Amino acid sequence: MAGSPFWQNLFRPDHKQKKHVRDLWLATPIFSGVSANQCQQLVNDMAIRRYENTEAVFKLGDVGIGTGLIISGSVRICMGEKVLAQLEEGDFFGEVALVIEAPRTATAIAAGDTQIVFFLRPQLESLLSRSPRQGAKIMQNLAKVMANRLGSTNTLLEQSHVAD
């Protein structure tokens, strides 16, 4: 009972962990160029959640509201039975939901005991109104990340067409 994700999500010790989480976010392209202080302020309000092995983080078609960063453990991104990617500590996923209210386009499943920190759209919008410069920096970074993802997807599509 005490070891269930519900109770651990409710009563988790997080002071030391939050510095580690800040460093993980600062290492991602989303927070490139954002000050450590600003990032720490955002991390203080972020939700850190624990998932059991094979527990769904989100499912295909769910409405997303934020991006997740893996603190420990790993996450499998699946489309039906097919595993599209296996993400590890420091990887992030679902960043489109930070910008628009879009459905999740794949299912994310925890592989092993996994901790994920979520950066949510309300936090980004709040940052944009409180500190527009830092907010704009994150938006710009997000645009770059998504442009890169689009580029990779196009390359994959091209390769599959050639293979056909």
Partner 1 sequence: MWLIKHIPPMAKALICFTFVLVITSVLIWLLNPVIIPVLVSLALYVCLLPLHDWLTNLGWRRDMSAMAILFLMMFVVLVPGSLILAEFNEQAMLWQSKASIAGQSLNELLGLLSEKLAQWQFHIEVDQLKANILAGLVKDNGSFLSSISSLVMSISSSLLLVPFITFFLLRDFESLRNKSLNSLPNKYFELGWLMYFKVAKQTQGYVRAVLIQQSILAVVAASGFWLAGFDSPVILGLIAGVLGLIPYVGPALGLLPPFYLVLANPEVGFDAMYTAVLVIGVAYLVDNLLVIPLVVARFANLHPLVALLSIIVFGNFFGILGMIAAIPLLAISNIVFYQLLLSFSPKKFTTNVASFH
Q: Footprint of partner 1 on this chain (CB under 8 A)? A: 5-6, 9-10, 45, 47, 49, 51, 55-58, 61-66, 77, 79, 84-85, 93-96, 101-103, 105-106, 118, 120-122, 126, 129-131, 146, 149-150, 153, 156-157
Pick the closer one to partner 1 by CB: 74 or 131: 131
CB of 19 vs partner 1, minimal distance in Å = 18
Pick the closer one to partner 1 by CB: 27 or 47: 47
Cβ within 8 Å of residue 39, ≥6 positions away: 22, 25, 26, 31
The tokens for 11 are 């009563």
Start-end of H helices in the chain: 5-10, 15-26, 36-44, 121-130, 132-163
CB of 125 vs partner 1, minimal distance in Å = 8
CB of 105 vs partner 1, minimal distance in Å = 5
CB of 47 vs partner 1, minimal distance in Å = 5
What single string gives the DSSP state of each residue in 62-96? PBP-EEEEEEEEEEEEEETTEEEEEE-TT-EE-GG
CA distance 110 to 53: 5
Q: Token match 């769910």: residue?
A: 62
Pick the closer one to partner 1 by CB: 24 or 145: 145
Pick the closer one to partner 1 by CB: 27 or 84: 84
CA distance 5 to 57: 12
CB of 104 vs partner 1, minimal distance in Å = 8
